[in-house]
Amino acid sequence: MMGNSCCGENKMCALTCCPCDLDVEAIKPLVNDPKFICTVCGRVANSEENLCKPVTLK
């Protein structure tokens, strides 16, 4: 994994970086209607503010 030095706490890469610490219930509302995908890690989110380098899903 690339690490999350470029990301804040609200970024999907930071929220999902450690599988043993993953809080699925906290992540569900951030991804239940994804509109963006990150060009760095491929994660999706409802809001572009939760991704490092978002582009719109089409």
Percent of the chain with pLDDT over 90: 50
- pLDDT, position 15: 81
pLDDT at 3 over 50: no
Tokens for 48? 């572009």
Q: Determine the average pLDDT of the residues in 35-57.
A: 94
Compute the mean pLDDT over every residue in the chain, rounded to the nearest whole number: 84
Q: Check the CA dihedral 20-26-29-30 and report its sign.
A: negative
pTM value is 0.75
